A and B are shown apart, each in its own frame.
Chain A
């Protein structure tokens, strides 16, 4: 097991190198230039030139890449070409915000999805099951910006309620933080829940058909003991896989929800970087997100062995 984890961690190195080259190249292929975006349509060519030089953009691309990659080796993500602020502290600051939002959204999503998914599988083809499936379909189909905008405008219009405008951390003030994060988390949670619910339902349906479930029932166990005690762990693998992917994806920052609710998370940071062609910001941000994604997947693989001891690496 230890060896397996080590091997996975070592395999991160080529992944990071690959991503860094890919991001750098794609970004520099995109038309647009940070200096002229910053100066806008009132700029003189000489002002643009001076700014390009001070941003270091007049150097050949390969030099720019090596400078950046060299910095990465010693943990230096570089500075924003617009504000001159170091990037790594900003990424970490925003990641903590995205992390809190993701965890709350996941909690809400699972809280809704898993019990309902199980119930729907146990009472398969009942009216309850049909209703749940329709709602799940709606949850997947309705885009999250629509849900978010409705929540925001509806609450402010009919109840005069609006979430606090300054972001607070859960460890500083849990009640205030809950008010800040609840609307975006519900918005994201609804979309998450729809997927997890469908996955839970189908995984349970499959498990409930298995021989050992029939044996468990034949022993005279009551139905809930069968479902929770025998079927739950055996159905968990596909659900965990999906949840891992979802969390990894959300930790990259849910751009639309962050934008709508002014949550200064990682996705918003990277998106702003793209608009302004702030190359180091986008490069550093994407690299960080990729790293998180890979690590979450590793974590999921480790959880597998705990859920299902038959899995060995």
Chain B
């Protein structure tokens, strides 16, 4: 009897052991075989690291040739690479192209591609993909924002799988800088809808997109730059309210978030959070429709320039965290002219009144300043201008527009005065030709000055950097003197960063270059 009991007990015990053994085996298999498991082994005991970035807006698609929204760019620029890229000092350095050669006459550019770079689907990236990507950008049906960057391209040739040759209609000294743009990402030719399927060569791969909640990217283990990226995953957590981002940073639920100057001050004393800033490429401006009376008279525009106190705007609107700027933002140290070379930047009410009287408006006039209600800094800038212009008898009414309406007004070329913000491009050609050439796509101010046009055209074709610099210096002075826009202030941007994060050093070169070098302690 006892023996029988023991036998049963043993049998039951064995069965149980077998079952539990089998159970744990099946539980291990999926994680061991999956990507995450492999990463875990590489990371050994530390476990995978995930960087959480607080994002202000939902992305609106991931096709780099079609979607220019900042909320999308910050994500797809981690998924894709371009031919070149910028280092933190805004120098052009190799990206997918290992090296390049510009011909003597400046009309042929040959890129030698890096070998063995793979798209996230496993296929090798070749010169055919580069050709396909640029042809897609240049195709008017794509509606790409980058088409205007590459209007000089005549033909694209592929002599071998690792060489691409661009034949240009005219020398284009902005080409190399423009080829670093995320809008000029190299995409695989076999993917037809890039909004549905994001396949690049970049440091991160798309994992999940939960609209209204988050976008999660995981590390590309085969990324061609050794040691990058520094984290196993990045999650962009969508938090539209700044108060919420602030609370999340304090509680350590978010590692990195961009914050306003006001909040940066508030966070300055918070334990575990550091604030990093950099001089941005953006500047705020007062746009003037030069076709509308009385602004068709350059003396009126100059009078406004003398009446405006730019330093006061910097102190009040940007809490001192901004720099004076010309048409090229000061972050572009190689090209931006020192503002001391602009006489009309001195506030001089007497001179302003005198200019206004010469133009036939000794008692001033009434006018309208339009701006976007969406951005408090724009509204505050408009209010400052309203006050300052009163000193010379100009009574301005402020008209705040909802964003969609604002864009319509901007586009209409029929505004009077408009307060806004621009991003000074990577190359001065963008800041000067695109925005102010008679045929410039973003010249909504009806500004047309043949002398200026000639200067920026010549500068684009100049292959000698010294000569280019001279031409752009002259163009900047001419533009400030003519004042189709008043360039007001170039703000600093702020990031709040958790102490667990290492190596995140944001610069004007863009968030992506800071993020790939970032690592995180668990």
Which residues on A are within 8 Å of B, measured CB to CB?
30-33, 36-51, 54, 82-85, 90, 94, 149, 152-153, 155-157, 160-162, 165-167, 259-262, 264, 268-269, 272, 275-277
Contact = CB atoms under 8 A, between A and B. Distances in A.
A284 to B, nearest CB: 15
Query: What are the 7 tightest A-B residue pairs by CB atom distance, in nearest-first order?
Result: A32-B404, A264-B212, A50-B143, A162-B251, A156-B247, A44-B441, A47-B143
The number of chain B residues touching the other chain, given as a range, is: 35 or more
A266 to B, nearest CB: 10
A152 B247 contact: yes
Given A82-B60, A162-B248, A30 B404 contact: yes
B115 interface: no
Nearest to B193: A84
23 contacts: A32-B408, A33-B404, A36-B411, A37-B403, A38-B67, A39-B68, A41-B420, A44-B148, A47-B145, A48-B143, A49-B143, A84-B196, A90-B211, A94-B212, A152-B244, A156-B246, A165-B237, A165-B239, A165-B254, A259-B241, A260-B244, A264-B212, A276-B60
A94 B68 CA distance: 26
B272 to A, nearest CB: 10
A85 B52 CA distance: 25
A262 B52 CA distance: 15
Nearest to A262: B239
Contact of A261 (B52, B142, B244, B405): B244
Nearest to B141: A50
Given A50-B143, A152-B247, A157-B250, A277 B404 contact: yes
A76 B256 CA distance: 40
Most chain B beta carbons < 10 A, residue from A38, A152, A161 = A38
Contacts, number: 141
Contacts of B210: 264
Nearest to A41: B410
A42 B211 contact: no
A232 B393 CA distance: 69
B230 interface: no
Contacts of A39: 68, 143, 145
A100 to B, nearest CB: 15
Contact of A160 (B60, B211, B251, B402): B251
Given A46-B140, A48-B143, A261-B244, A32 B195 contact: no
B429 to A, nearest CB: 14
A83 B251 contact: no
Interface in B208-228: 210-214
A36 B243 contact: no
Contacts of B501: none
Given A37-B403, A54-B143, A83 B408 contact: no
A272 B68 contact: no
B309 interface: no
A-side binding surface: helix, strand, loop or mixed? helix
Contacts of B238: 262, 264
Contacts of B244: 152, 260-262
B243 A149 contact: yes
A47 B58 contact: no
A32 B402 contact: yes
Nearest to B241: A260
A153 B407 contact: no
A148 B464 CA distance: 59
Most chain A beta carbons < 10 A, residue from B147, B193, B243 = B243
Contact of A272 (B58, B408, B441): B58
Contacts of A167: 213
A117 B361 CA distance: 68
B212 A41 contact: no
Nearest to A263: B212
Contact of B212 (A49, A165, A269, A276): A269
A33 B406 CA distance: 11
Contact of B407 (A40, A162, A259, A269): A40
Interface string B421-449: 01100000000000000000110000000
B140 A50 contact: yes
A82 B212 contact: no
A156 B254 CA distance: 12
A264 B213 contact: yes
Given A37-B403, A43-B145, A166 B408 contact: no
